[in-house]
Structure 1
Amino acid sequence: MLITVTRTGGLAGRERQAAVDTECRPDRADLELLAERALGEDWPADRQPVADGYRYVVQVDGKVMELHEPHLTANQRQLISAVLEEGA
């Protein structure tokens, strides 16, 4: 499973992108389950981003979701953090 996160916005307005391929990871099952949970949760489209908040585009094997701070579920936040911290 390929998971890509692109983060834009914030005070500096810089873009950051990272990707994780779960295929050879020892935590593969955990990360894939987290991605499935995050994708399965509702993210209301009518929730507008806040000024200087981050905007995330999360792609998981071709499925795309656009999320905004502070409107993230715990699973979405955990997935985003894992990919941005570990991805290259």
Structure 2
Amino acid sequence: MLITVTRSGGFTGREKLSALDTSGRADAADLEELAKRAVAPVADGFRYRITVDDEVLDLQDPCLSDAQRTLIRTVLGTGA
């Protein structure tokens, strides 16, 4: 299994891309299970797309910051 992670943002705004091939690794089964759980949608979880001018951010429960949750509640007029 090939797992790729891209990190961007932060103080310097630099992007870091790294890939890991689990083939032949002693921890392959653990990593593959972790990857499957990480990308699986949360059962009955909401997904959100926040667009601010030209910036788009896709989010999913329960991985929301306090600021994102407050913004969603305010814009939707509901509890998030």
TM-score of the superposed pair, with normalisation by structure 1: 0.50
Show the 5 A alignment for 1:44-59: 44-46=46-48, 48=50
Show the 5 A alignment for 1:2-81: 2-42=2-42, 44-46=46-48, 48=50, 71=63
In structure 2, the partner of 1:75 is none
Over alpha carbons, which structure has the higher Rg?
2
- Tell me if structure 1 keeps the 8 A contact 2:7–2:16: yes
Residues matched between the structures, number: 55
Does the residue aligned with 1:13 lie in a helix, a strand or coil? coil
- Tell me if structure 1 keeps the 8 A contact 2:5–2:19: yes
CA RMSD of aligned residues (A): 2.9
In structure 2, the partner of 1:78 is none
Does the residue aligned with 2:26 lie in a helix, a strand or coil? coil
Structure possessing the higher relative contact order (Cα contacts under 8 Å, 6 or more residues apart)? 1
Q: Percent identity?
A: 52
Q: CA deviation at 1:38?
A: 0.8
Q: Any gaps of 5 or more consecutive residues in structure 1?
A: 49-54, 56-65, 73-88
TM-score of the superposed pair, with normalisation by structure 2: 0.54
